Amino acid sequence: MRLTNENSGLPMGRENSDFLVGSQLTLADLAVTTALGIWRGALGKTLPDTLVAYRERLAARPAYQRAMKANQAESGPPTTS
């Protein structure tokens, strides 16, 4: 998928679903969330509001927060340049 101004959302699996494939979190969500994080963080790009909301929903999940905390403990806090 190419992210452009015209493409402000993701094709969700079902109507009213918070996830890409079906009604629960899958590897597809993890992969896309990671790619969006790179797009925003490392590349300094702005995400459309719909994608910001998608990332925030996934980041609010307790398991996501535990994984991020564990990752930071292993690699140290993020550095700014």
CB atoms within 10 A of CB 47: 16
The per-residue pLDDT string of the chain (81 residues; one tens digit each, 9 = 90 and over) reads 555 544 556 666 556 678 888 888 888 888 998 899 898 888 888 888 888 888 898 989 998 888 888 888 877 666 654
Beta carbons of 63 and 27 less than 8 angstroms apart: no
DSSP assignment of 15-74 equals TT-SSSSTTS--HHHHHHHHHHHHHHTTS-PPPPHHHHHHHHHHHTSHHHHHHHHHHHHH
